[in-house]
């Protein structure tokens, strides 16, 4: 049988292989073919065939039909780098399969997030001998739908038997992931430029160099020795070219750590992760850091020393001037930067370089780079943020030495939507805030420094947008919908008008938050310090549901005294004017290290002595803090314990507090799966529960919240996390104890709808998010949110929950205008 019918091996959008954004496929180096952008994670055989090769990393499979046509089915692009993560193969080499038999199942979300693209090329690798015919392209196809056929061409011309001279050479495989599909295609492509037989042998297995499939089947790893033989007059030249290619190991850049999440978006849209919800319409401005030429040689030791001192003082002065109006994360980071400017080792290191004749700028760069290198070498995740701080301070001092304007003095058009690959905290902090309406970064995570600072400034922000962000034309009109997690380039008039109305409505009125059918939700604010109170009240906060006291402790050289703590808590209570103030006891450790407290050596700090567990090895810290809190007068003070996983922890704090002051309300944060699972027992003894969805998601999903690679996946709307939240809400209802939620999920309008449906009546959010959350809750009926929550608990993924919540919000909004 010469003609074989082909069925779509996966459902999705069928398109030409030329559309694949990778020249290995689009230039048909592997052979003719087609591609499907999949909408499901199931790959089946397109026809009856034998399985020739399943990639050791499970992301591709090669089939051979009875007539000898070879088809490579390659899920996604650059997916070899996933090293098998997200793929499960259901066949082995040598198996016979019928059309429709399952070959590989894969995790659409994971691969979509981590790979360059999900688009799946299907290539006829011996298209010199076979012809591929498709019934049509650029259409949606169902799995198993007939899409075309393969037919044998006339018998291939055999190679001219002329020159029989055999040339030999060898090369060490340099490609980081061995000879997988991409290098194999490039090698085959190179071999095709030369006549004669060329063979590659690795570990006793040989392959024809013109066959990418055969090359892949060698399973050659980096460092393996490949023996090459070639016949024909051009054999020597062929081997030189091939040896160079095989050993150079030059790979195209790997996918960056934070590519945009796999979310269906339109052609003029780019998806991202919400750091602070909100909508902004404005002009796209790309922020690109100046690469400064720093002279290597100095102008004399004294002159360079003086220049360095002057630059350090200038940077310090600039930071101090900014810090006056800051609190919370921004203030903590600014303090860290001042600490680095004064760091003796760093200064001594720079002076040594100056004494060796280097310029002040170069000396400072070398000193900070050496310090950063030492921190990286320590391989301690706690030190990661310190490396970022060092890089930041290096850039600031270099700029000061070059006499350049700080970012804040840059001219930005009004209503700028700032787009940045990566932005240093100092750069963000010194921006002319009145001109910046929105921020989008290609890297970062929702809880990265940048995200925290942007949130405290109230700038709607999207992070983890991936390299796509760079394609937004400079000066174009863009709509940053950080609530929906999308940036729209040149939105049409309708979209722009709707967004502008939504943005205006959201800020309009800060009265009670009551749903359409009359359910009241209390909206409180998360605070980092005194300076956050005023914006919180302006945004209509009814009090503070979470005071992150650790910001008072972070990034300084010694702990705040009991008096300093008491004065700070008192000032915040006063500023809140009798509204509730929920003070969380110290939550340090994990991703919040404190230089002056020696933590036990820990392999996994996120699972170590953080939160209330610090009391196990430093009980005096919590006692001192409880004394400071107990001394606060007036106001509705509540105390809340972080990272609880046992009832004993609650009892221990209750006893300590009771010894200091009677009648203070004491609550437990539910942010470990353990606490959620024993929420009934905790609720029986605590005065209230408050769910920390950031950590609950981290621990329930086993995803490090500081890992940018996972920024698009760690989503508290995952049904697993929602089930834990539902359990906690139910436990509260049964025992009559209030349950609130103070993680980032409360700052997301879509999250708020689901939480309301799950029975949470009190949310504590970033101050700047309160208007958007209030607006969303007022737009819906609680009864509809309950139905939404029921469906969310049964949903397959966080993405599905988001889609359901967005559907409810949109349909409720439409009702408004009718
Ligand atoms: C949380 O984990 O959700 C939370 C509110 O605490 P933090 O983000 O400060 O760890
Ligand atoms: Mg937490």
Please, are residues 478 and 284 in contact by the beta-carbon 8 Å criterion?
Answer: yes
DSSP state for residue 469 in the 8-state scheme:
G
| Ligand index nearest the alpha carbon of residue 745 | 1
The atom of ligand 1 lying closest to the CA of 745 is 3
pLDDT attached to residue 382: 46
Secondary structure (3-state) at 2 = coil
Please give all residues whose beta carbon lies within 6 A of any atom in ligand 1, as ranges.
Answer: 546, 548, 587, 671, 692-695, 742-743
CA distance 786 to 788: 5
Secondary structure (3-state) at 332 = helix
CA distance 614 to 587: 8
Kindly name the residue from 74, 167, 449, 718 that is annotated as catalytic.
449
Residue nearest to atom 9 of ligand 1 (CA): 548
Q: At what angle do helices 782-794 and 798-817 cross, to 10 degrees?
A: 160
How many whole angstroms from 693 Cα to the centroid of ligand 1?
7
Neighbours of 353 (CB within 10 A): 21
CA distance 580 to 636: 5
The atom of ligand 1 lying closest to the CA of 743 is 3
The atom of ligand 1 lying closest to the CA of 693 is 3
Q: At what angle do helices 619-630 and 562-575 cross, to 10 degrees?
A: 40
How many whole angstroms from 255 Cα to the centroid of ligand 1?
29
Cα–Cα nearest to 752, from 464, 506, 504: 506
The residue whose two tokens read 């019934």 is: 135
DSSP letters for 227-279: EEEEESTTHHHHHHHHHHHHHH---PPPPPS-PPP-----TTEEE-EEEE--E
How many whole angstroms from 487 Cα to the centroid of ligand 1?
27
CA distance 58 to 105: 9
| Ligand index nearest the alpha carbon of residue 725 | 1
pLDDT attached to residue 325: 60
Residue nearest to atom 1 of ligand 1 (CA): 692
How many whole angstroms from 559 Cα to the centroid of ligand 1?
21
For residue 190, indicate whether it is catalytic.
no
pLDDT attached to residue 580: 95
Residue nearest to atom 8 of ligand 1 (CA): 694
CA distance 33 to 31: 6
Strands of 1-114 (E only): list them.
3-7, 12-16, 32-38, 42-44, 49-54, 60-64, 70-74, 87-89, 96-97, 102-106
pLDDT attached to residue 203: 81
How many whole angstroms from 270 Cα to the centroid of ligand 1?
28
The atom of ligand 1 lying closest to the CA of 690 is 5
Both tokens assigned to 547 = 């005071």
The side-by-side arrangement of strands in the sheet containing 146-152 is: 3-7, 146-152, 130-134
Cα–Cα nearest to 214, from 72, 354, 423: 72
Q: At what angle do helices 798-817 and 749-757 cross, to 10 degrees?
A: 100
Ligand 1: which of 669, 689, 739, 741 to mutate, judged by most atoms within 8 Å of the beta carbon?
669
The atom of ligand 1 lying closest to the CA of 642 is 6
How many whole angstroms from 612 Cα to the centroid of ligand 2?
11
Ligand 1: which of 455, 548, 613, 672 to mutate, judged by most atoms within 8 Å of the beta carbon?
548
CA distance 106 to 87: 4
Pairing of strands 636-641, 665-670: parallel
pLDDT attached to residue 386: 67
DSSP state for residue 233 in the 8-state scheme:
T
Pairing of strands 146-152, 198-202: unpaired
Q: How far, CA to CA in Å, does 132 sit from each of 4, 13, 386, 559, 732?
A: 10, 18, 56, 72, 63
Low-confidence ranges of the chain (pLDDT < 70): 1, 155-164, 181-182, 213, 250-266, 289-292, 323-329, 332, 374-386, 404-410, 445-449, 498, 500-510, 555, 557, 591, 593, 595, 708, 813-818
Please, are residues 474 and 286 in contact by the beta-carbon 8 Å criterion?
Answer: yes
Handedness of CA 188, 190, 194, 197 (dihedral sign): negative
For residue 90, indicate whether it is catalytic.
no
Strands of 153-257 (E only): list them.
166-172, 198-202, 205-208, 225-231
């Amino acid at each position: 049988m010469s003609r074989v019918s082909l069925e779509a091996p996966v459902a999705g959008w069928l398109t030409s292989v030329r559309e694949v954004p990778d020249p290995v496929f689009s230039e048909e180096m592997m052979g003719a073919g087609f591609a499907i952008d999949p909408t499901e994670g199931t790959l089946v055989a397109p026809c009856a065939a034998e399985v020739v090769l399943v990639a050791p990393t499970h992301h591709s499979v090669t089939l051979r039909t009875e007539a000898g046509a070879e088809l490579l089915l390659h899920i996604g692009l650059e997916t070899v780098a996933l090293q098998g993560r997200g793929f499960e193969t259901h066949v082995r080499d040598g198996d016979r399969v019928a059309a429709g038999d399952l070959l590989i199942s894969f995790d659409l979300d994971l691969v979509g997030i981590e790979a360059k693209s999900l688009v799946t090329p299907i290539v006829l690798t011996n298209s010199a001998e076979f012809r591929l015919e498709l019934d049509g392209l650029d259409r949606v196809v169902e799995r198993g739908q007939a899409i075309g056929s393969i037919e044998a061409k006339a018998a291939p011309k055999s190679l001219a038997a002329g020159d029989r001279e055999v040339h030999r050479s060898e090369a060490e495989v340099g490609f980081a992931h061995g000879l997988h599909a991409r290098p194999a295609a490039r090698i085959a492509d190179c071999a095709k430029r030369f006549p004669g037989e060329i063979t590659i042998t690795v570990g006793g297995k040989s392959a024809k160099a013109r066959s990418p499939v055969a090359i892949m089947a060698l399973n050659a790893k980096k460092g393996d020795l490949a023996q090459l033989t070639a016949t024909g007059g051009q054999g020597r030249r062929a081997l030189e070219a091939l040896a160079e290619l095989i050993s150079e190991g030059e790979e195209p850049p790997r996918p960056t750590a934070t590519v945009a999440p796999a979310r269906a978006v339109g052609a003029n849209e780019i998806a991202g992760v919400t750091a602070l919800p909100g909508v902004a319409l404005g002009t796209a401005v790309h922020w690109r850091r100046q690469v400064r030429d720093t002279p290597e040689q100095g102008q004399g030791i004294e002159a360079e020393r003086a220049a360095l001192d002057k630059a350090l003082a200038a940077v310090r002065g600039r930071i101090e001037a900014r810090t006056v109006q800051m609190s919370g994360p921004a203030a903590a980071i600014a303090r860290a930067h001042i600490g680095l400017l004064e760091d003796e080792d760093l200064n001594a290191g720079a002076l040594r370089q100056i004494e060796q004749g280097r310029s002040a700028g170069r000396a400072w760069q070398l000193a900070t780079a050496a310090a950063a290198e030492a921190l990286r070498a320590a391989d301690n995740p706690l030190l990661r943020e310190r490396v970022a701080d060092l890089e930041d301070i290096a850039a600031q001092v270099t700029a000061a030495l070059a006499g350049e304007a700080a970012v804040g003095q840059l001219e930005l058009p009004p209503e700028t939507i700032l787009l940045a690959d990566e932005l240093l905290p100092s750069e963000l902090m010194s921006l002319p805030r009145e001109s910046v309406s929105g921020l989008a970064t290609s890297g970062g995570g929702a809880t990265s420094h940048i995200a925290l600072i942007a949130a405290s400034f109230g700038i709607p922000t999207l992070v983890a947008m991936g390299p796509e962000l760079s394609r937004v034309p400079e000066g174009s009109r863009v709509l940053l919908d950080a609530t929906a997690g999308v940036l729209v380039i040149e939105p049409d008039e309708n979209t722009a008008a709707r967004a502008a109305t939504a943005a205006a409505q959201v800020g309009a009125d800060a009265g009670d938050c009551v749903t359409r059918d009359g359910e009241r939700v209390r909206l409180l604010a998360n605070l980092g310090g005194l300076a956050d109170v005023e914006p919180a009240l302006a945004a209509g906060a009814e009090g503070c549901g979470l005071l992150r006291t650790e910001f008072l402790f972070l990034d300084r050289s010694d702990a705040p005294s009991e008096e300093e703590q008491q004065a700070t808590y008192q000032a915040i209570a006063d500023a809140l004017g009798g509204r509730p103030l929920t003070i969380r006891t110290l939550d340090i450790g994990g991703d919040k290290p404190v230089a002056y407290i020696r933590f036990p050596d820990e392999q996994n700090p996120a699972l170590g002595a953080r939160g209330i567990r610090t009391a196990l090895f430093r009980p005096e810290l919590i006692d001192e803090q409880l004394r400071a809190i107990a001394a606060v007068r007036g106001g509705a003070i509540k105390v809340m314990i972080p990272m609880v996983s046992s009832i004993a922890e609650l009892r221990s704090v209750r006893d300590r507090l009771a010894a200091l002051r009677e009648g203070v309300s004491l609550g437990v944060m539910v942010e470990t799966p353990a606490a959620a699972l024993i929420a009934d027992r905790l609720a029986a003894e605590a005065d209230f529960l408050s769910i920390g969805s950031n950590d609950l998601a981290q621990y329930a999903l086993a995803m490090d919240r500081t890992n940018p690679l996972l920024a698009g996946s760690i989503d508290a709307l995952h049904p697993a996390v929602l089930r834990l939240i539902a359990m906690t809400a139910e436990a509260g209802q049964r025992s009559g104890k209030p349950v609130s939620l103070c993680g980032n999920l409360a700052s997301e309008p879509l999250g708020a709808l689901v939480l309301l449906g799950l029975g949470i009546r009190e949310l504590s959010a970033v101050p700047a998010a309160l208007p958007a959350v209030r607006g969303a809750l007022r737009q819906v009926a609680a009864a509809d949110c309950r139905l939404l929550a029921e469906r969310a608990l049964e949903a397959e993924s966080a993405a599905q929950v988001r889609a359901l919540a967005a559907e409810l919000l949109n349909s409720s909004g439409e009702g408004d205008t009718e």
